[in-house]
Amino acid sequence: MNADPAAAVNRGPGAALRGTPTHQGPGDLTLTSIVLFTLGAYGVAAGAATGQEAVVAVGIFAFTLFATGIIWPIVSIARLRVRAVAPTDATVGDTVVLQVDVRGRAPRVDIRALDPPGTWWRTSAPASGALPHSAVRRGVFRSVRVQLRTSAPLGVFVRTRTIRVDLDAPITVAPRPVAAPAVLRPVPEERMAAGPALLPRGAGDTVRTVRPYAPGDPARLVHWPTSARRGEIVVREHEPPPALGVALVVDLRGPRPEAAASLAAGIGGATLAAGGVVWCGTNEAGERVGATVANARELGRRLARAGPGEPAVPPEDWPVETVTA
Amino acid sequence: MSRGEKSPLAAHGVAPSYRIVAVPAAVALGAVGAIAADHAGLPWIVGAFAGAIAAALGVLALPSIPTRRATVVLLGLGGLAALRHASFAGNDRSWLLVLWAAATMLTLVMVDRADAEMVPALEGGAPLPSRMAETARVGALVSLIVMVAAVALVPSVTSRLGRKVWPGRSPTDSDLTSSPSSLQSSPSLDLTSRPRLGNAVVFTVDASHADFWRGETFDVYQGSSWSSSFDQDTDEPLTNTGSRVVVDAAQYDGGTANGTDFRQTYHVEAGYSDVVFAAPNPREVETDKNLMLAPDGTLRVGDPNIPSKIAAEGFGKGAVYTVTSSRRSVTAETLREATGEVPTFINETYALMPVTSGRVVELARTITQGRTNTYDRVKALENWLGDNTRYSLNAPLSPRGVDVVDDFLFRTRVGWCEQIASSLVVMARSIGIPARLVTGFVPGSRDALTGRFVVRERDAHAWAEIYFPGIGWQGFDPTASVPLSGDAKSSGSWLSAARHNAVPLAILAVLLVIIVAALPEVVAAGRRRRARRASWSAQTLHRLERVGRKAGRARAPSETPREYAAALADQLGDARLVEVGATLDAALFSAHGAPDEARERADAVLTSL
């Protein structure tokens, strides 16, 4: 997969120019080609030297198969076009299934995803199918590289063609979280008013008041003494529990940005799972970005876009956990 | 074996998709084995069986070698055997060679298909076309391509690259005695015996167009035979300078001056021949033999120091010689206008009244009455013979002691070329036209694959030659219509022209195919190049890398531009490179790109380095 140049700062400068070394040449000659070329050269030379047309004919036959076996795969694969659709989210190490659409006509073609090179799969074109691909790098990817190959029909020459396929929607590959403890420390109340999504899950145990029963209230909240005193059923309303959470400051300017991103994902994920609030401060495409995240997916997306650079400053009074590369 | 049970072959590692490959492989090696066995004098079935078994075992029973590799190696061995025995034409086994080629091609298709089937199928992808359908479709297409290539290229390759001179096998006494009389020089031609006209190929000719392959001439008619007034002892030995013998054509045919060259290469297939066949009129012969030239222009192999004919002095099987002939282009009009004076030597040798009956002379005069020029008179005689006599190889032989021409014209009117041509010559000479009888071969059939004229025993022929002042000898024959050289030139079709220029045409076709096939790639590469040119970051990175390479510090594949620039800054002691790296980073990855001023500063830094 190839990172979006505008967004994939997380992979470090120059990451888009790197890549696992793969076969990029136009193709490979096979043992068959060597045999046919040798027969052709020997036949034409020996036949011409002695004037024996039959020997020349054998040589021409071998040469013709040699030439046809090279030109045919080149021509047949040159006309193929590929489209691909990828899921929007993935985590490093996941196997992503790309829905590929091979257009053009070729009776036999093998296809695989690159970066890293995957397994070859055979099909006949035109075709649509599911192409498994390993997500090995964190980032936001707008294109994938796909390789097509064929040696049809004679197996003389294996023509390989690499195609960069633009995705309809980019795929965001989040870092794989490492096991880390949740960080649950009190956070300022005013941050809690930012929106209901930030309210911690579950109720506290301090009773703030009572109110008349409304259908749907759980029976365990009925305050029987007061109900008996008032002559109507009332239920307890509790004080919300104190807000707990952490401000994650992710600084990827060191030598091990991926490990840092994974650690941040682990801490943030554990904190969110424990009902805590997570504020995440990163540097995305040269800009400092800081905001609370609603869930693990959003945290993953933020970390996928994170790159080396000065991270955003956390809000005042928040407990800060700095993760450095 | 129950379903699902592993077969013994599968246990040996041969995938089921490969098993079918054994069939065409066995056919290919069986075919070539049959040719080899035939060549070795063994029953062909033995070779076919051995080849087929070897192929089947090679494909199916070599567990330690990948099936594809084993198959290709077997096909390669089959190809070598085909090359070794391809030239063997005994018992007409050429169909086996075609069978070998077809089976080899199908084996390649099927083994590649079997390879493809070993790759897992794309989930949801389209299935491959059926094995048989694909093999049939590809087989037909590739066969067509191979046939076109063979027809187009083989004759040209052979004629352009093939040897023009080759000694061939040294003939034995047995070859001499078994060789047909049409290939042997002789002082006389008997008209009362039937010639041997078998199907055996006597020689093949590489030539751009058809012509009569002339052998000997006869000028003395003796009623039942022809002979030459020139004794073979008086033949002039020609000097062979480095496989090249120059023949002064003008000394026996003054009309050949300013003629057009016509090159022919003869490949002798018979066991023996001492006549040097050539289209009229030979002016140069490329051969390793010693040649003798008769005053009538007849060329034969011989040595003046060896008076009697011996086998070793002739061409043996496989001998190759090349003749360059020179012949003036003429048409009927040119011949009509040829009214000059006939040289005395020609008149005294070829225009004497032949020994024949008075009624033959009277018939000739009657037929040519009212004709004012030689050409029209000869054509009148030719037409009369064509209209009033019948060609048949089964014609009755004239009795001995009888004037064969008289007997043919006034009694049987059925004969073969010798009677008909003799009649034309005798009648022409009886009205004062210089004429002689020529023996040789008609062009033969042109081989569709090789483009060569294949000449057989049955193509032996006799025709008349008439002398035209200022032009020379011209062939006439009512049975085989000898083409005038001017007509021969115009008879070439676009197809024959294409065949003659097959090599340049084939190269052009291949280039066109390559250009068409590569065009999309070239266009795409151009676009990529333009895109790279337009990208400041790619250009700058390239310049940075060039600076590094000059300094002996190439960029490692894992290095980012920023890291590389920092490393170069350290190495070169130029801190400005750090900013170049940062600018490159911004240009490559920042949503806002690098500021123009930063780019200019980076350009300036790289330019200064």
Q: Is the pLDDT of residue A2 over 60?
A: no
Q: A246 with A279: CB under 8 angstroms?
A: yes
Q: A84 with A165: CB under 8 angstroms?
A: yes
- Give residue-wise pLDDT tens across range B145-186: 888 888 777 767 766 666 678 888 888 888 888 888 889 888
Mean pLDDT of B462-468: 92
- Give residue-wise pLDDT tens across range A92-148: 999 999 999 999 889 899 999 988 888 999 999 899 999 999 888 899 999 999 999
Q: Is the pLDDT of residue B545 over 80?
A: yes
Cβ of B86 within 8 Å of Cβ of A155? The answer is no
- Give residue-wise pLDDT tens across range B61-70: 877 788 888 8
- Give residue-wise pLDDT tens across range A21-40: 344 456 788 999 999 999 99
Residues 493-532 of B with CB under 8 A from A: 510, 513-514, 517-518, 520-521
Q: Is the pLDDT of residue B534 over 70?
A: no
Q: Looking at CA atoms only, how far is residue A251 from chain B in angstroms?
A: 17
Neighbouring CB atoms inside 10 A of B562's CB total: 22
Question: Six-digit token pair at B561?
Answer: 């531009």
Q: How far apart are CA B289 and CA B281, in angstroms?
A: 19
Domain segments of chain A as ranges? 2-29+79-174, 185-196+242-324, 210-238
A198 vs B28, more confident: B28
Among the residue ranges A74-78, A293-297, B479-483, the one predicted with the least confidence is B479-483
Cβ of A122 within 8 Å of Cβ of B155? The answer is no
Three-state SS at B29:
helix
Q: Is the pLDDT of residue A197 over 70?
A: no
Domain segments of chain B as ranges? 8-118, 173-502, 512-608
- Give residue-wise pLDDT tens across range B343-354: 888 888 898 888
Question: Six-digit token pair at A276?
Answer: 């805590």
Contacts B162 to A, Cβ<8 Å = 47-51, 56
pLDDT at A3: 45
B86 vs A311, more confident: A311
Among the residue ranges A243-247, B38-42, B504-508, the one predicted with the least confidence is B504-508
Closest partner residue to A12 (CB to CB) among B149, B150, B560 is: B560
Cβ of A122 within 8 Å of Cβ of B122? The answer is yes
Place of tokens 């008769």: B294
Closest partner residue to A32 (CB to CB) among B108, B142, B588 is: B108
Cβ of B112 within 8 Å of Cβ of A153? The answer is yes
Q: Mutating which of A52, A109, A164 best tests the B interface, going by the most B Cβ atoms within 10 A?
A: A52
Q: How confident is the model at residue A7 (pLDDT cuts 50, 70, 90)?
A: very low
Q: Mutating which of A58, A95, A131 best tests the B interface, going by the most B Cβ atoms within 10 A?
A: A58
B485 vs A112, more confident: A112
Closest partner residue to A286 (CB to CB) among B94, B145, B590 is: B590
pLDDT at A188: 82
Q: Which of B265, B153, B150 is nearest to B203 (CA)?
A: B265
Q: Is the pLDDT of residue A9 over 70?
A: no
Q: Which of A120, A146, A115, A130 is nearest to A22 (CA)?
A: A115
Distance of CA B526 to the CA centre of its chain: 43
Sign of the torsion formed by the C-alpha atoms of B305, B307, B312 and B317: positive
pLDDT at B533: 64
The mean pLDDT value of chain A amounts to 84
pLDDT at B210: 86
Residues 565-594 of B with CB under 8 A from A: 581, 584-586, 588-592
Cβ of A71 within 8 Å of Cβ of B517? The answer is yes
Listed ranges A236-240, A301-305, B246-250, B355-359; the one with the highest mean pLDDT: A301-305
Q: How far apart are CA B151 and CA B101, in angstroms?
A: 15
Three-point CA angle B16, B20, B21, nearest 5°: 110
Contacts B111 to A, Cβ<8 Å = 155
pLDDT at B20: 86
B376 interface with A at CB cutoff 8 Å: no
Q: Looking at CA atoms only, how far is residue A264 from chain B in angstroms?
A: 23
Q: How far apart are CA B249 and CA B230, in angstroms?
A: 17
Q: How confident is the model at residue A54 (pLDDT cuts 50, 70, 90)?
A: confident
Distances (CA, A) of B106 to A122, A212, B298: 21, 89, 52
- Give residue-wise pLDDT tens across range B79-111: 998 888 876 655 556 788 889 999 999 999 999
Contacts B320 to A, Cβ<8 Å = 51
Place of tokens 């025709």: B463
pLDDT at B91: 52
Interface size between A and B, measured as CB pairs under 8 A: 247
Question: Six-digit token pair at B304?
Answer: 């003046």
B501 vs A242, more confident: A242
- Give residue-wise pLDDT tens across range B39-49: 777 888 999 99
Mean pLDDT of B452-474: 88
pLDDT at B12: 45
Residue B210, C-beta contacts closer than 8 angstroms, at least 6 positions apart: B443, B446, B453, B483, B488
Q: Is the pLDDT of residue B465 over 90?
A: yes
Mean pLDDT of A294-307: 93
Cβ of B145 within 8 Å of Cβ of A64? The answer is yes
Q: Mutating which of A30, A33, A44, A60 best tests the B interface, going by the most B Cβ atoms within 10 A?
A: A60
Q: How confident is the model at residue A174 (pLDDT cuts 50, 70, 90)?
A: very high
pLDDT at B498: 58
Q: Under CATH, what is the fold of the domain B173-502? A: C8orf32 fold (3.10.620)
Burial class (CB in 10 A: 0-12, 13-18, 19+), B576: middle
A12 vs B319, more confident: B319
Closest partner residue to A44 (CB to CB) among B127, B157, B561 is: B157
Q: How far apart are CA B12 and CA B65, in angstroms?
A: 11
pLDDT at B500: 59
B163 interface with A at CB cutoff 8 Å: yes
Contacts A121 to B, Cβ<8 Å = 119-123, 125
pLDDT at A198: 42
Contacts B510 to A, Cβ<8 Å = 67
Q: Looking at CA atoms only, how far is residue B477 from chain A in angstroms?
A: 33
Q: Mutating which of B157, B265, B286, B579 best tests the A interface, going by the most A Cβ atoms within 10 A?
A: B157
Percent of chain B with pLDDT over 90: 20
Q: How confident is the model at residue A304 (pLDDT cuts 50, 70, 90)?
A: very high
Percent of chain B with pLDDT over 70: 86
Q: Is the pLDDT of residue B427 over 90?
A: yes
pLDDT at B110: 92
- Give residue-wise pLDDT tens across range B381-398: 998 998 888 888 888 888
Q: Is the pLDDT of residue A184 over 60?
A: yes
- Give residue-wise pLDDT tens across range A261-282: 999 999 999 999 998 999 999 9
Cβ of B68 within 8 Å of Cβ of A154? The answer is no
In CATH terms, is domain A2-29+79-174 a member of 2.60.40? Answer: yes
Mean pLDDT of B559-572: 88
B497 vs B69, more confident: B69
Q: Which of A291, A200, A181 is nearest to A244 (CA)?
A: A200
Percent of chain A with pLDDT over 70: 86
Contacts B585 to A, Cβ<8 Å = 13-14
Q: How far apart are CA B579 and CA B575, in angstroms?
A: 8
Q: B258 with B201: CB under 8 angstroms?
A: no
